[in-house]
Amino acid sequence: MIGQGAESNTACSIFRAPWVIPVCSPVLQDGAVVVAHNKIVAVGPYHELSLRFPDLPLSSCQGVLLPALVNAHIHLDLSIMGSVYPDSPASTMCDWISILLKKREKAHFSGEAMEDAAAKTVIDQYASGVGLMLDIGNLPLQRRDTTGLEIISLLEMLGPSQDAQQAVMNTLADFPSDLPVTAHSPYSTGPDLISFIKKRCRRQGTMFSFHLAENRDESLLLVEGGGCFARFLKQRGAWDQTFPVQGIDSRGVVGYLDDLNLFDDKTLCVHCVHLNDDDILAIAGAGAHICLCPGSNRFLGVGTAPLEKMLAAGMLPALGTDSIASNTLLDLWQEMSLLSQEHPRVDSASILAMATLGGARALHREADFGSLAPNRSGCFLHVQGREYEKVENAEQLLKRLTSCGRPESVSWIKAEL
Ligand SMILES: [Zn+2]
């Protein structure tokens, strides 16, 4: 990364800071990032880069330089709902879904109001340092996005009965072929439709992202035809022969999805709270990705994902906020802080890597996002706060970044083109 001697170059700026966190390489004290034409040219110790690029205009920053955050799971079209609290600690996730649906039916939100709420969320996400997100929606919103935040959007489909699956397949036949679509979850979508959508994704080369193992009752529904999801489907008149799924063997829900040929490197499994060791190995072995949403899991009381086992299997999960309907705040800094509390044996560097590199890999955008390295995007973060001023080493710095919530100041470094 660091060449010999001074270089004549077209770089337009060198950004120097007390701390630079490349994520893909060790933290630099008194580090620098050289940017040209909106791409990073070099990252390294300032004293080396200042010799290599002696004529560049210098921007001295206080605080920390690091890559943009990646929010790998959000539902912008639920922004208008605000936090939807369960009735009581005894409420099931199905109770919460019922409350959410009732609130939405009663409110009759206009399309414009929903788009405005989504746009405000996008602005706040960008202000918090998110540069890339995966948005899963039930409605194709026409967002007036004026920030620099890049949004990958997937339209989410559900089909819990034979009739509903067939109806969605008929609808998809009329969809523009370039409109990316995904499935909601194994408990809301039958096997024919899940397979149909994954095959469509493969033909189009698009992501397939779905909620997996968020709640124990998912397995109860698919294996035994019981649990809260079975009651929910019966109450809504959507119960037929789709569940329980015939032929599920001892490998459970993940084995069933594996038989549907669902896992590959374009599949992103979200939540993954109730996975056993074999499930994790099957998902990791297929090269599929995982996104954790600790804030939403805590809000709905569904449990804590086995992060240590995922890391031990060689995975680097991504991180997502999920929607505001199932969270108190949409903020990846808070999600990192929750992970720090819930997984004290996981090192802070891994948690920061999840919120940056993990998301970039899962969304296949590692060439631009996730780390500070040559050829990556020249737009990255500059964070400041009193808590970072007196840190003595990289370990302390990473601990504070991942356990204190959103920094006092988050701003964007954007080099002139
Ligand atoms: Zn979700």
Q: What is the pLDDT of residues 355-396, one digit of tens each?
A: 999 999 999 999 999 999 999 999 999 999 998 888 999 999
So what's the pLDDT on residue 414? 84
**Whose CA is closest to 121, among 85, 154, 78, 150?**
78
Measured in angstroms, how far is the CA atom of residue 269 from the centroid of ligand 1? Answer: 10
CA of 209 to the centre of ligand 1 (A): 10
Asked if residue 247 has pLDDT above 70, the reply is yes
254 C-alpha to ligand 1 centroid (Å): 18
The structure tokens listed for 385 are 């706060």
pLDDT tens by residue, 123-135: 999 999 999 999 9
Query: What is the whole-number distance in angstroms between the Cα of residue 360 and the centre of ligand 1?
Result: 18
CATH fold for the domain made of 69-362 = TIM Barrel (3.20.20)
What local confidence, expressed as pLDDT, does residue 10 receive?
Answer: 42
Distance separating alpha carbons of residues 116 and 112, to the nearest angstrom? 6
Q: Please tell me the distance between residue 326's alpha carbon and the centre of ligand 1 in angstroms.
A: 8
CA 350 to ligand 1 centroid distance, Å: 23
Ligand 1: centre distance to CA 378 (Å) = 30
Residue 80's Cβ-count burial label (10 Å; 0-12, 13-18, 19+) is buried
**Which residues fall within 8 angstroms of residue 393, CB to CB, at 6 or more apart?**
none
Question: What's the CATH number of domain 13-67+371-414, 3.40.50.970, 2.30.40.10, 2.60.40.420, 1.20.120.160?
Answer: 2.30.40.10
Residue 244: band (very low, low, confident or very high) from pLDDT cuts 50, 70, 90:
very high
Alpha-carbon gap, residue 31 to 25, rounded angstroms: 12
Domain with CATH 3.20.20.140 in the chain: 69-362
What mean pLDDT value characterizes the chain? Answer: 93
**Ligand 1 centroid to 234 CA: how many Å?**
23
Q: How many whole angstroms from 61 Cα to the centroid of ligand 1?
A: 37
Pick from 114-118, 192-196, 333-337: least confident: 114-118
* Distance from Cα 297 to the centre of ligand 1, integer Å: 10
Least Cα distance to 118 among 266, 330, 275 occurs for 330
Banded model confidence at residue 267, pLDDT cuts 50, 70, 90: very high
Whole-number Å distance, alpha carbon 322 to ligand 1 midpoint, is 5
- CA 123-125-131 angle, to 5 degrees, is 100
Give 293 Cα–ligand 1 centroid separation in angstroms: 8
Task: Say yes or no to pLDDT of 139 above 80.
Answer: no
* pLDDT band at residue 6 using 50, 70 and 90 as cut-offs: very low
Cα(386) to ligand 1 centroid in Å equals 34
Calculate how far, in angstroms, residue 395's C-alpha sits from the geometric centre of ligand 1.
Answer: 32
Distance CA 396, CA 399 (A): 5
* Helix 277-285 and helix 252-259, axial crossing angle in degrees, nearest 10: 20
pLDDT over 90 at 85, yes or no: no
CA distance 297 to 294: 5
Q: Ligand 1 centre from 82 Cα, in Å?
A: 14
pLDDT band at 142 (very low <50, low <70, confident <90, very high): low
Q: What is the mean pLDDT of residues 276-301?
A: 97
- CATH 2.30.40.10 spans which residues of the chain? 13-67+371-414
Q: What are the angstrom distances between the C-alpha of 367 and each of 204, 360, 371? A: 20, 8, 9
Q: Is the pLDDT of residue 80 over 70?
A: yes
What's residue 104's pLDDT? 86
Confidence check: pLDDT of 179 > 80: yes
178 Cα to the center of ligand 1, angstroms:
23
Distance from the alpha carbon of residue 2 to the mean position of ligand 1, in angstroms:
42
Q: Compute, in angstroms, the gap from residue 188 CA to the centroid of ligand 1.
A: 13
Residue 271 alpha carbon to ligand 1 centre in Å: 8
What is the pTM for the complete model shown? 0.95
Distance 73 CA to ligand 1 centre (A): 6
Instruction: Give the distance (Å) from ligand 1 centre to CA of residue 323.
Output: 6
* pLDDT reading at 2 higher than 50: no
Structure tokens at 290: 């995982």
| Strand ranges across the sheet with 130-137 | 69-74, 130-137, 150-157, 181-183
336 burial level (CB within 10 Å; 0-12, 13-18, 19+): buried
Cα(293)–Cα(234) distance, integer angstroms: 28
Distance between Cα 211 and ligand 1 center (Å)? 6
Average pLDDT value for residue range 5-22: 74
State residue 58's pLDDT score: 94
- Helix (H) / strand (E) containing 411: strand 409-414
From the CA of 241, how far away is ligand 1's center (Å)?
26
Q: Please state the φ and ψ torsions of residue 300, each to the nearest 5 degrees.
A: -90, -5
Protein residues within 5 Å, CB atom, of ion ligand 1: 322
| Ligand 1: centre distance to CA 219 (Å) | 18
